[in-house]
Structure 1
């Protein structure tokens, strides 16, 4: 039977609600939406899309590394985009952070809280 394990680590961003940041189930890691929030200050990493997006990818990477996984192990991503005009910029960053064999991706356009412009949710393969 597959067991669920909540992953916690002092280097991971804290959740901003009643949910787990990372859950491992069997051979998969599930990372809750990571936004462009600086985990040290709890505030937006900046006002620009690029500043927030780079912080979101950094937060995602931190969650994966703390869960014994990596960006290269990501199989599916949902990028919640706050402004449809930022699609081209997101595609450029996506190619930078996932240069080889990028994961499957969905990109709904949504109204994110706190003036956030991006949130990244991911499913990755867990290493033994």
Structure 2
């Protein structure tokens, strides 16, 4: 059975979608921009700061679902420009302990609200 996962510690959905959906032991987190849920604004700075905030949002949703970063098995990173890859990757690598999830990283023409990075996650909670 599908269950909607939602927390006030991550930005509210800006369209007709859920922050995350849980099905059994699987968790699907919608793409998270680097938006601070308190201010509703992008984290100040550049792609590094937005990547840090994206992960803060992801962690808040994971926690709401009873999961941690250790449960993440797949990520997709969307970048406004591939020239941001190294800066994003530096922050990305620091978010995981040892075993990295599978990942895709692509440049897109434009992200919502002109963000620099958006990250979506799939997690599997090991029972």
TM range (shorter): over 0.9
Which aligned segments of 4 or more residues in structure 1 are displaced greater than 2 angstroms? 8-13
Number of residues paired by the alignment?
126
Cα displacement (A) at 1:90: 1.8
* Residue in structure 2 matched with residue 43 of structure 1 by the alignment: 41
Distance 2:97 2:91 in 1: 10
Where do residues 1-128 of structure 1 align in structure 2 (5 Å cutoff)? 3-110=1-108, 111-126=110-125
Unaligned runs of 5+ in 2: none
Q: Distance in 1 between matches of 2:35 and 2:13?
A: 11
- TM-score of the superposition, structure 2-length normalised? 0.92
RMSD over aligned Cα, in angstroms?
A: 1.4
Structure 1: runs of 5 or more not aligned? none
Retained in 2: the 8 A contact 1:31–1:63?
yes
Deviation at 1:127, TM superposition (A): 5.5
Give the whole-Å Cα distance in 2 for the aligned partners of 1:91 and 1:9.
Answer: 26
| In structure 2, C-alpha distance between the alignment counterparts of 1:71 and 1:42, rounded to whole Å | 24
Give yes or no for contact 1:12–1:66 (8 Å, CA) kept in 2: no
The alpha carbon displacement at 1:99 in A equals 3.1
- Secondary structure of the residue aligned to 2:9 is coil
Q: Distance in 2 between matches of 1:79 and 1:59?
A: 14
More displaced stretch, 110-119 vs 20-29: 110-119
| 1:93 to partner: Cα distance | 1.2
TM-score (norm 1): 0.91
In the alignment, is the contact (CA less than 8 A) between 1:69 and 1:127 conserved in 2? Answer: no
